[in-house]
């Protein structure tokens, strides 16, 4: 059998709620499904879990069987291999704890359309309780027959490209056809009950079109007029080469349906077999509770008791475990459903033993006697917390996405080809494909976020979320909640749990703009996330692990902030793995003409205007201007000019360029030499102890923007560090 088909078969056997196995044509047992492997206690890398062909004969696995059952089992299995016919046997199998349980095993050959044997599929039905209570069960012979028939399962499949259907011999038998019948949609629809014909036809059509998953029940109308009830389950599988198939199982549940109709007659028998029922329920993965006619708690299965952390007696006296908000919503619905006898289901949160809550899908049902009086109420809760978390994450991601869409971007793409910009983009292309943390520095308006988005788009995380956070725009008392999320009730106004930006960016990239504005407390919290890749929501105790790439940006001198005690040195080194400095616009004069043309085209289209040219005089003015606001300021100037211009020649008001303070004017240098400019800056740094920004910084002393001063310090090659230990002059 080819490997893709084996993988598909293993996937199918794993979804069947029974102990199933597969053997090769020679009878060598090569695979058991997850349920069987867990019972046998097989390790995760065991060949029988992985479906690895070992060539070992089936006899080599006989030690799993009880010694008294081995010879009879070998004989039945040998007959199956010799005749190629299905077989059935009962034997005891040793579990992981060393004890034996009885199983009814059915083996069925799996063949190709040409009759060649592909292997053997087996289904084992746990009949331990039946064996232990055979005396009582003999009086219910029909019930035992029903239970045996419930183990009959046929396997079906469809190639979506050719719409060719194949099935096992058991599937053909269920439909009442000879084992060698080649299945077609017409043959399947021919047996379908008239009332269910549309349902079956739709399922076949969807499976042929897109391999849709289906799980439904329908009826067959047999030639003799009898009706069979089937449960069909299937899912889509792919061999990785673009070949899709729908593979699944059909289970004959006719006897179960008949048993459900007779359930009212078995109410008294259910009381006698209550202990057996409890033992069965203890193996169920759901939280199952049983209540009396007045809704008094009677029984909870082992899974439920372990979840709530209580014994049966404690559970009976422990009160409600449902979240108070859900209890108010569900209580009237449950009372009405239980009074009318109509089953219903609801989503609710159930408190765990440690006090936390998880979401469950609770199904409520009641059992009544012949007089219609309720004698038992059953509640089965299936854990859906992961699904609810995924839905919540999706809602939060949608909110974040809408915020990103609504947020005005500086421009759609990076424009320019100057040497300064080309050097930066070259560094970006080298670091983008890695997961290294990037620290982008540069003056306000240079396009640091745009550069961060370019890194994300060129990374392997481009298909996942890019979440941007402006650390300076969020109040200090809300920044922790914004980054890490919060639980309901964590603080005033926290009416529901919210996912933080780090959680939303899981698998993608988070961009922390203005990182230098974080408080010392948040710097410590961020350092922990960078070191351990995990955090806790505000008001929560659960440790949440995330896989996030961090890109940070700042227009501050973080090294100076470290000296001043405003920024943690260890956090700086965690962020400064790959530094990238975005050049100021005055260092990209070659790009000004290109940027002007780009912005004119952008805003002219919006305004419905056409501009044929920009005068050389205007371009010279734009190149001569120092642009303290960088690209963002240039963008605003061009947008404003497009709005006010009435001719086909774009004009820029000179007052817009001269209104902004220039460093030369503030410093009073005029046409002074660079040496004089350097001396003035060094005097200011010396007087301020090397501090660049802040109320007592050199930028304030000189009356110029911090970003402008830092740019001139770099251009004049001034060493700020040598002034930090100096003595301030009065």
Give the CATH number of the domain where residue 288 resides: 3.30.450.20
HSE-up (13 A, CA, CB side) for residue 317: 3
Q: Is residue 672 predicted with pLDDT exceeding 60?
A: no
| 224 within a domain of the structure (yes/no) | yes
| CATH code (residue 656) | 1.10.8.60
Instruction: Say if residue 574 is in the same domain as residue 590.
Output: no
Look at residue 663 in the predicted model and tell me its pLDDT: 44
Q: Does residue 553 carry a pLDDT above 90? A: yes
Statement to judge: residues 702 and 690 lie in one domain: yes
pLDDT: is 599 or 551 the higher one?
A: 551
Task: Name 50's Cβ contacts closer than 8 Å, sequence gap at least 6.
Answer: 31
Alpha-carbon torsion angle 725, 727, 728, 730, nearest 10:
180
Q: What is the mean pLDDT of the chain?
A: 81
The pLDDT assigned to 142 comes to 40
Residues 100 and 74 in one domain: yes
d(CA 38, CA 51): 15
Strand 357-368 and strand 485-486: the pairing is unpaired
Instruction: Assess if residue 256 is contained within a domain.
Output: no
One domain, residues 190 and 74: yes
For 334, counting Cβ atoms within 10 Å of its Cβ (0-12 exposed, 13-18 middle, 19+ buried), the class is buried
| Contact criterion met (CB below 8 Å) for 2 and 53 | no
**Taking the CB of residue 523, how many other CB atoms lie within 10 A of it?**
17
Asked if residue 302 and residue 159 are part of one domain, the reply reads no
Q: Is the pLDDT of residue 550 over 60?
A: yes
SS3 180: coil
pLDDT at 401: 54
Instruction: Name the residue among 163, 239, 254 with its Cα closest to residue 207.
Output: 163
CB atoms within 10 A of CB 177: 18
Cα–Cα distance measured from residue 22 to residue 9, given in angstroms and rounded to the nearest whole number? 9
Q: What is the mean pLDDT of residues 4-24?
A: 81
Which residue, 581, 601, 631, sits at the end of a domain? 581
Q: Are 636 and 629 in contact (CB under 8 A)?
A: yes
| Domain annotation covers residue 431 | yes
> Is residue 730 situated within a structural domain?
no
Confidence of residue 229 (pLDDT cuts 50, 70, 90): very high
Residue 209 has pLDDT above 80, yes or no: no
Alpha carbon distance 595, 605 (integer Å): 16
Note whether 116 and 164 are same-domain residues: yes
Q: Is 445 left (phi over 0), alpha (psi -120 to 50) or beta?
A: left
Residues 446 and 552 in one domain: yes
Q: Which pLDDT belongs to residue 136?
A: 60
What confidence score (pLDDT) does residue 601 get? 85
Side by side, the strands of the sheet bearing 117-126 are 29-32, 19-23, 117-126, 100-111, 87-94
What gap in Å lies between CA 636 and CA 334, rounded to an integer?
62
Clarify whether residues 243 and 377 are in a common domain. Answer: no
Nearest to 85 by CA among 61, 56, 106: 106
- Indicate the pLDDT class of residue 86, thresholds 50, 70 and 90: very high
Between 444 and 675, the higher pLDDT residue = 444
| Judgement on whether residues 673 and 620 belong to the same structural domain of the protein | no
CB count, 10 Å around CB of 466?
Answer: 23
Q: Is 505 exposed, middle or buried (0-12, 13-18, 19+ CB in 10 A)?
A: buried
pLDDT at 580: 93
C-alpha distances (whole Å) from 174 to each of 9, 168, 169, 220, 386 are 20, 10, 9, 9, 37
| Terminal-to-terminal C-alpha distance of the chain | 90
- Find the mean pLDDT for residues 297-314: 86
Q: What is the mean pLDDT of residues 198-211?
A: 82
Tell me the HSE value of 230 on the side-chain side, using a 13 A CA sphere.
31
Domain membership of residue 77 (yes or no) is yes
Cα separation, 157 vs 238, in Å, equals 12
Mean pLDDT on 622-642:
87
Highest mean pLDDT among 110-114, 275-279, 582-586, 685-689: 582-586
Q: In terms of residue numbers, what domain contains 699?
A: 669-723
Do 560 and 525 lie in one domain? The reply is yes
The helix (run of H) or strand (run of E) holding residue 540 is: none
**Do 577 and 590 fall into the same domain?**
no
Q: What is the DSSP letter of 65?
A: B
Residue at which a domain ends, from 249, 274, 302: 249
For residue 135, the model assigns a pLDDT of 45
Q: How far apart are CA 245 and CA 596, in angstroms?
A: 56
**Is 728 inside a domain boundary?**
no
Question: What domain count does the chain have?
Answer: 5
Residue 400 is predicted with a pLDDT of 59
Whole-angstrom Cα distance, residue 505 to residue 249? 39
């Amino acid at each position: 059998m080819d490997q893709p088909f084996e993988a598909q078969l293993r996937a199918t056997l794993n979804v069947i709620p029974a102990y199933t196995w597969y053997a090769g044509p020679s009878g060598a047992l090569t695979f058991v499904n997850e349920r069987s492997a867990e019972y046998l206690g097989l390790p995760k890398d065991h060949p029988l879990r992985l479906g690895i062909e070992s060539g070992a004969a089936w006899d080599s696995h006989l030690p799993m069987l009880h010694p008294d059952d081995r010879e009879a089992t070998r004989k039945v299995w040998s007959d199956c291999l010799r005749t190629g016919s299905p077989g059935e046997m009962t034997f005891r199998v040793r579990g992981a704890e060393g004890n034996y349980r009885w199983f009814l095993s059915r083996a069925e050959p799996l063949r190709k359309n040409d009759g060649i044997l592909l292997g053997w599929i087996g289904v084992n039905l746990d009949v331990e309780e039946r064996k232990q209570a055979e005396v009582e069960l003999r009086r219910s012979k029909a019930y035992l027959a029903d239970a045996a028939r419930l183990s009959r399962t046929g396997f079906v499949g469809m190639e979506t490209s050719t719409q060719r259907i194949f099935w096992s011999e058991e599937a053909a038998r269920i439909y009442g056809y000879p084992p060698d019948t080649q299945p077609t949609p017409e043959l399947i629809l021919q047996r379908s009950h008239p009332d269910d014909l549309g349902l079956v036809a739709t399922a076949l059509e969807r499976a042929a079109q897109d391999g849709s998953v289906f799980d439904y029940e329908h009826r067959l109308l047999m030639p003799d007029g009898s009706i069979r009830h089937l449960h069909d389950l299937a899912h889509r599988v792919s061999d990785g080469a673009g070949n899709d198939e729908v593979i699944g199982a059909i289970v004959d549940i006719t006897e179960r349906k008949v048993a459900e109709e007779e359930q009212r007659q078995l109410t008294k028998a259910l009381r006698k077999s209550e202990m057996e029922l409890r033992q069965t329920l203890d193996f169920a993965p759901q939280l199952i509770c049983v209540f009396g006619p007045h809704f008094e708690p009677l029984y909870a299965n082992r899974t439920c008791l372990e979840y709530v952390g209580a014994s049966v007696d404690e559970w009976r006296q422990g009160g409600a475990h449902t979240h108070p908000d859900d209890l108010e919503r569900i209580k009237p619905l449950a009372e009405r459903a239980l009074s009318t006898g109509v089953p219903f289901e609801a989503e609710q949160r159930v408190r765990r033993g440690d006090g936390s809550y998880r979401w469950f899908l609770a199904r409520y049902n009641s059992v009544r006697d012949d007089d219609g009086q309720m004698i038992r109420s059953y509640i089965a809760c299936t854990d859906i917390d992961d699904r609810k978390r995924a839905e919540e994450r999706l809602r939060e991601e949608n909110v974040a996405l809408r915020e990103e869409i609504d947020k005005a971007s500086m421009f759609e793409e990076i424009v320019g080809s100057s040497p300064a910009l080309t050097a930066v983009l070259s560094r970006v292309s080298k670091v983008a494909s890695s997961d290294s943390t990037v620290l982008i520095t540069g003056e306000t308006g240079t396009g640091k976020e745009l550069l961060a988005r370019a890194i994300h788009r060129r990374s392997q995380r481009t298909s996942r979320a890019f979440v941007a956070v402006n650390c300076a725009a969020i109040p200090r008392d809300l920044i922790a909640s914004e980054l890490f999320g919060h639980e309901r009730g964590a603080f005033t106004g926290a009416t529901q749990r919210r996912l933080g930006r780090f959680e939303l960016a899981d698998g993608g990239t988070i961009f922390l703009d203005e990182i230098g504005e974080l408080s010392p407390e948040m710097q410590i919290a961020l350092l922990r996330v960078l070191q351990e890749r995990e955090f806790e929501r505000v008001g929560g105790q659960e440790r949440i692990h995330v896989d996030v790439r961090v890109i940070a940006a700042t227009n501050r001198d973080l090294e100076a902030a470290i000296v001043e005690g405003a920024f943690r040195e260890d956090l700086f080194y965690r962020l400064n793995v790959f530094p990238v400095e975005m050049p100021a616009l005055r260092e990209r004069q070659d790009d000004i003409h290109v940027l002007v043309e780009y912005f004119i085209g952008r805003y002219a289209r919006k305004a419905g205007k056409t501009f044929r040219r920009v005068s050389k005089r205007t371009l010279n003015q734009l190149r001569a201007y120092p642009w303290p606001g960088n690209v963002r300021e240039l963008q605003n100037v061009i947008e404003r000019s497009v709005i006010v211009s009435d001719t086909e020649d774009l004009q820029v008001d000179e007052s817009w360029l001269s209104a902004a303070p220039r460093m030369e004017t503030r410093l009073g240098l005029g046409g002074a030499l660079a040496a004089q400019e350097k001396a003035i800056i060094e005097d200011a740094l010396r007087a301020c102890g090397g501090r660049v920004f802040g109320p007592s910084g050199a930028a304030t002393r000189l009356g110029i923007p911090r970003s402008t001063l830092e740019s001139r310090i770099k251009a004049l090659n001034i060493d700020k560090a040598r002034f930090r230990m100096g003595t301030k002059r009065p």
